[in-house]
Amino acid sequence: MKKALSQPRVVFSGIQPTGVPHLGNYVGALRQWVQLQSQEAPDTKLLFSVVDLHALTTPQVPEKLRRSRKESLASLLAIGLDPNRSILFFQSAVPAHSELMWILACTASVGYLSRMTQWKVAWPFGIIGLHLG
């Protein structure tokens, strides 16, 4: 019997750029991100993103979004995320995110999307038109 190859763990999480994170962000996710840096094995890849493309699913004021991206990244550094231990990045800086979205958008039917909780919640309020964002 072949032995399974051991792969290092990968942890990925992201936060929308709503400006300076609040207590709920810290308690809900950010505190755990900082703790993972010391709790996970050294070969674990830790990837944390400011998901600025995801923020475009609702209308944004461009200048406010640019400022919020910077504030969010600065806050991640301020709470103790170490760029020597974790990979910090803007979602929009990775073209593969948009490329994968295009592939998924071309294959996801409205019937499939209508089974998603996020779609069901937003649809009655007119937040989502016929676009997939």
Closest CA to 6 of 41, 32, 33: 41
Helix, strand, coil distribution of the chain in percent, nearest 5: 50, 10, 40
* Average pLDDT of span 120-129: 62
- Asked, for residue 107, whether it belongs to a domain, the answer is yes
**pLDDT of 15 above 90:** yes
Instruction: Kindly report the CATH number assigned to the domain that includes residue 55.
Output: 3.40.50.620
- Asked, for residue 86, whether it belongs to a domain, the answer is yes
Closest CA to 75 of 26, 11, 38: 26
When divided into structural domains, the chain yields a total of 2
**pLDDT of 104 above 70:** yes
Does 80 share its domain with 103? Answer: no
Does 85 share its domain with 108? Answer: no
Domain span at 117:
95-133
- Asked, for residue 2, whether it belongs to a domain, the answer is no
Does 105 share its domain with 85? Answer: no
Does 35 share its domain with 45? Answer: yes
What would the two tokens of residue 98 be? 């948009």
- Asked, for residue 4, whether it belongs to a domain, the answer is no
Provide the mean pLDDT of the chain. 87
Does 83 share its domain with 103? Answer: no
- How far is Cα 88 from Cα 132, in angstroms, rounded to an integer? 27
Does 102 share its domain with 86? Answer: no
Does 73 share its domain with 121? Answer: no
Does 81 share its domain with 102? Answer: no
**pLDDT of 100 above 80:** yes
